[in-house]
Amino acid sequence: MDETVAEYIRRTVLKIPRDEIKMMLQEWGFLSEAQLQTLNFHQIKDNISQEVVQLCEENSADIKQAAALDIIYNHIYQNKRMWSVYQMKKSGEELEYFDITDFKKKFKRRLRSALKNVTITFKEYEDNAIWIRVAWGTPHKKPNQYKPSYVVYHSQTPYVFISSSVLKSTLPLLCQALIVASNYHDIREMELRSHSLNSLKDIVFKRYSQNFQTDTPKPLQGGNVEPENADIRIVEENKSEKERIHRLNQEVFGSGPQPKLEFAQYRLETMFKSDPKMDVLDKKEPFRCLVKFSSPHLLESLKSLAPAGMADAPLSPLLTCIPHKARNYFKIREKKSLYPESFVSP
């Protein structure tokens, strides 16, 4: 077995948490059940991975099998990677029958005609997702297995999710191979990025619950007994304000769980406007800012701002449009219209 393959398998196994190694090796299916029985999963990972490599040696593993194990790892730990979304465009309207064999053939052929040294691996999953792993080399060097690109393509849709290799120059090649293989004629990157692959899918496949009015407003937890004096009116107002905020939030965010994004970025090139009394900056040039919101679960976080008193309800459409515009990167310029308070995002 090639030394580099052995090392690559060893390092891949080392990445796997100890109590998941057996399951992943089983899914991989390269080692027999009998071989798996011989492995001691209770020792330190260093030793486990050495033993796995030895077994792979017995079976004469090559880079193809090693790459298959890597796809399995990255499919399970997909949220460790940053995914970008691309949309492909067809020239005509015809829905062609998708032939997976044809797709793979064309993809490999396109890549290999441009670059001799590539490792290409495919794996299909139940949800119609085709996972593709590409390791890139040069005309004179073998592919670098440690910096591959991953592509997830749902064949019934024009969307492709790419976790790029850090080798930036490989991206155009990858995109070309995709459109050729899938019979599209163009591909563009959307302004949508996240670690959560499923949330990106939720957004572009519109699988999250969108804005709709709930008929029955959620009853608020009251707790205190209202004293029967003049204070009743104040309490009532606050309660109705809370209900108003809740209702507006529902209208704008929907009542279901939000897709999970970690950040949103806004490049602002709008004018600075102030109270003329303040006698401050009154330039004709834009006030250039870059605003970045980050959170473990951004949309849920934004949804909770108004109820927490941190924001007005309804929240700005710049924030609430994220799921249905399917983007979390924006460039905002002043709209030249009668209503200077509106913004346009190209």
Partner 1 sequence: NFNFFPFLLFSPPHPQEKADPQKTAFLLRKAWTLYSVTPLYGFRRARLRDYARLLGAFIAAEKQKGLAVEVGVELDIKVALSSLPDIRGSELDQAALLVQLSSRSRASSRNSEDKPVWSGWFCSVFGDDLFENVPEHFTCLPLFLSHGAESYTSLVGSWFQKTFDCCFRRLAISPLNLSWMVAMWAGCKLDRATSAVELVFSVPRLAQPLDISYAIHPEDAQALWDTVQKTPGEITQEEVDIFMDCLYAHFHRHFKIHLSAAKLVKVSTAVASAHCDGIVKILNSQYLPGVLMLLTELAISQIQ
Listed residue (292, 339, 337, 296) closest to 319, CA to CA: 292
Q: Name which position in 7, 301, 325, 329 contacts partner 1 (CB under 8 A).
A: 301
Is residue 321 close enough to count as binding partner 1 by CB under 8 A? no
b (16+ CB within 10 A) / e for 245-281: bbbebbbbbbeeebbbbbebbbebebeeeeeeeeeee
Q: Name which position in 268, 322, 323, 328 contacts partner 1 (CB under 8 A).
A: 268
Asked, as a colleague might, if the bond just before 314 is cis with ω within 30 of 0, I would say yes
Shortest separation between residue 321's beta carbon and partner 1, angstroms: 12
Give, in order, the Cα–Cα distances in Å from 22 to each of 13, 72, 114, 242, 258.
10, 13, 38, 51, 34
CB 287 within 8 A of CB 270: yes
Distance of CA 281 to the CA centre of its chain: 40
Q: Of the two residues 217 and 307, which places its CB atom closer to partner 1 in the complex?
A: 307
Q: Name which position in 42, 140, 233, 283 contacts partner 1 (CB under 8 A).
A: 283
Part in contact with partner 1 (CB under 8 A); list of ranges 14-22, 155-163, 233-241, 290-298: 290-298
Is residue 273 close enough to count as binding partner 1 by CB under 8 A? yes
Is residue 288 close enough to count as binding partner 1 by CB under 8 A? yes
Shortest separation between residue 309's beta carbon and partner 1, angstroms: 7
Shortest separation between residue 204's beta carbon and partner 1, angstroms: 22
H/E stretch holding 200: helix 197-204
Our CA angle for 342, 346, 175, nearest 5°, is: 160
Listed residue (173, 184, 77, 66) closest to 121, CA to CA: 66
Q: Name which position in 294, 324, 331, 342 contacts partner 1 (CB under 8 A).
A: 294
Shortest separation between residue 202's beta carbon and partner 1, angstroms: 17
Q: Name which position in 279, 284, 337, 339 contacts partner 1 (CB under 8 A).
A: 279
Is residue 329 close enough to count as binding partner 1 by CB under 8 A? no
Is residue 287 close enough to count as binding partner 1 by CB under 8 A? yes
Strand, helix or coil for residue 225: coil
Is residue 79 close enough to count as binding partner 1 by CB under 8 A? no
Shortest separation between residue 83's beta carbon and partner 1, angstroms: 20
Part in contact with partner 1 (CB under 8 A); list of ranges 89-97, 147-155, 201-209, 267-275: 267-275
Q: Name which position in 311, 321, 329, 335 contacts partner 1 (CB under 8 A).
A: 311
Part in contact with partner 1 (CB under 8 A); list of ranges 36-44, 51-59, 75-83, 313-321: 313-321
CA distance 289 to 285: 12
Structure tokens at 287: 């006030």
Helix axes 45-58, 3-15, angle to 10 degrees: 140
Query: Which DSSP string do the residues of 95-144 spell out, in sequence order?
Result: -PPP-HHHHHHHHHHHHHHH-SSEEEEEEE-TTSEEEEEEEEEETTEEEE
Strand, helix or coil for residue 88: strand
Shortest separation between residue 302's beta carbon and partner 1, angstroms: 7
Is residue 324 close enough to count as binding partner 1 by CB under 8 A? no
**Window 194-253: residues binding partner 1 (CB under 8 A):** none
Q: Of the two residues 92 and 309, which places its CB atom closer to partner 1 in the complex?
A: 309
**Residues found near partner 1 in the complex (CB under 8 A):** 266, 268, 270, 272-274, 278-283, 285, 287-298, 300-302, 304-305, 308-312, 314-316, 318-319, 332, 341, 343
